[in-house]
Structure 1
Amino acid sequence: MGAEPGPPVLWLGGPPGAGKTTVARLIARRHGLRWYNADAHTWEHRARAVANGHAQAIRWEELPRAERWTGPLPELLAMSLHHERGAMVADDLRALPACPATIAEGTPVTPEVAGAFGRALWLLPTHAVQEQRLLERGMSPRDGAFRLYRGLLDVIEDQVEAYGGRRLRVDGSQSAEETAAEVEAAFSSSLAEGPVAGTAAERRALLRYGNRALVAQHEQFFARPWAPPAPPDAATAFACECGDTGCTEDVELPVARFPRPPEPLSAPVLADGHNAPAWPVSCPG
């Protein structure tokens, strides 16, 4: 990101089903990075596009929910704001504290925004792997979202090819840990440069940032005027906030029960048997 304000960024792109989120969370926890998840900012970005008068964003909001996914692929791509959201992600990152470094992952991470070399990598699954993973999420090939996600694989692959970006083919033969190790190797020099959170307390604050973004994603969706009522028992997997670099535990918790701010007074989310350090006096935000 050059001389612009904000943290150093490692960019991890790819279509839905590539494994970006799993890999980015592993690396962030292991190295003391901030995890920025573009999905968690979807509704914030869509609201921003509507406020700016983006015609396709407005059209998507106005269509009945059942009709949003029935159009041809070019129309679905336009209403997805795939190209527009990359710049919004970059704006979000520039607003973050300069320390520690951030690993930013998401489908809107495009070569135009991230650049093609050094600090950017795209996970590109085979069509068979992506289809299997989308089916495991409960999606159907008859769904418009399924068609959009398959189309995004081809669009992103073409973009990365055109820009000469670094890519890692995901063929289903490796575990998430093995894929994360390959991504770490690709980012080894950038990871060595840092800066990173140096204490468990600082890492606890970063984990809370990532968890709080998941809560915001849930709340912003159900705040839409067309959204159904929020299920009171809707749960998600939050990262354990112990701050141990070797911890990969998640805590399944109803979103409504996630501890409320302000953060220094908010109880940590912990896996069984894990302990939390004190909240940092000077935290990485």
Structure 2
Amino acid sequence: MNEESEVDDANIIWIGGPAAAGKTTVSRLFAQKYGFVYYSVDSHAFAHEKRAAAAGIHVLGTGPGNFDRRPMILEDVRALAAETMVVVEGAFVTPAMAGVGENAVWLMPSEQEQLARLEQRNPGGDHEGRIWGWELVRSQLEGTAARVIQVDGQSVEETIRAVEQEFGTILASHR
């Protein structure tokens, strides 16, 4: 087993989903509750973009880019905590990038719920661009055995409990 897969398999809990699914709030509270390290892929987006540009796989200033962030995330996680679980979340965490194994869960609102949450966040805003992320994640989840939590109508507390249930085996092994 190489170092990258050890970090991936043993130390990371991936929480993905489209914009307004509750990933950031749930991930922060979940990590805090269990003493895990919290890592937001979205907050590292510009740093990843700069690293990708320096590596010649992205043109700086052209947006977030469509390059593979996984190696950068794993490198960041290795630098954070070698023996501590890290909860990695963000809109850039897709099933194709993170996988759909036992250490990944997807928070999925319906398209209508996502639009309602986006409108609540930014009344009157243009939310259609955010729906692209919903369609991308949904399409990558189709036909897989991924762990998906439908978040429509759920409170933050209910979603955290659902995440705890999905990661019960992992939580039991890290107490």
**Kept after mapping to 2: 8 A contact 1:6/1:93:** no
| Cα distance between partner residues in 2 of 1:156 and 1:20 | 13
* Pair 1:153-2:134 in alignment: yes
Q: How many residues align?
A: 172
Equivalent AA in structure 2 for residue 166 of structure 1: R
Equivalent AA in structure 1 for residue 50 of structure 2: A
Question: Could you say if the C-alpha distance between residues 54 and 82 of structure 1 is closer, same or farther in structure 2, counting changes exceeding 3 Å?
Answer: closer
Equivalent AA in structure 2 for residue 165 of structure 1: A
SS at match of 2:15: strand
Q: How does 1:41-120 map to 2 (within 5 A)?
A: 41-55=44-58, 57-58=59-60, 60=62, 79-82=63-66, 84-120=68-104
| Structure 1 match to 2:157 | 177
Instruction: Give the TM-score normalised by the residue count of structure 1.
Output: 0.55
**Kept after mapping to 1: 8 A contact 2:8/2:74:** no
Question: Shift in Å at residue 118 of structure 1?
Answer: 0.7
Q: Which runs of 4+ in 1 moved over 3 A?
A: 4-7
Equivalent AA in structure 2 for residue 149 of structure 1: R
| Cα distance between partner residues in 2 of 1:6 and 1:126 | 29
Any unmatched runs of 5+ in structure 2? none
**Kept after mapping to 1: 8 A contact 2:19/2:91:** yes
| Cα distance between partner residues in 1 of 2:61 and 2:48 | 15
Aligned-residue identity in percent: 35
SS at match of 1:18: coil
**Kept after mapping to 2: 8 A contact 1:6/1:97:** no
**Kept after mapping to 1: 8 A contact 2:68/2:97:** no
Question: Could you say if the C-alpha distance between residues 98 and 59 of structure 1 is closer, same or farther in structure 2, counting changes exceeding 3 Å?
Answer: closer
Any unmatched runs of 5+ in structure 1? 61-78, 196-285
Question: Shift in Å at residue 53 of structure 1?
Answer: 2.6
**Superposed CA offset, 1:130-182 (max 9, x none):** 111212222645x3xx33311010011111224432111121x2110011000
Which of 14, 17, 38 is the matching residue for 2:17? 14
| Cα distance between partner residues in 1 of 2:66 and 2:142 | 17
SS at match of 1:3: helix
Question: Could you say if the C-alpha distance between residues 155 and 190 of structure 1 is closer, same or farther in structure 2, counting changes exceeding 3 Å?
Answer: same
Q: Which has the higher contact order (CA 8 A, sep 6+)?
A: 2
SS at match of 1:84: coil
Alignment root-mean-square deviation, CA:
2.3
Equivalent AA in structure 2 for residue 126 of structure 1: S
Larger Rg: 1
Instruction: Give the TM-score normalised by the residue count of structure 2.
Output: 0.86
Question: Could you say if the C-alpha distance between residues 162 and 81 of structure 1 is closer, same or farther in structure 2, counting changes exceeding 3 Å?
Answer: farther
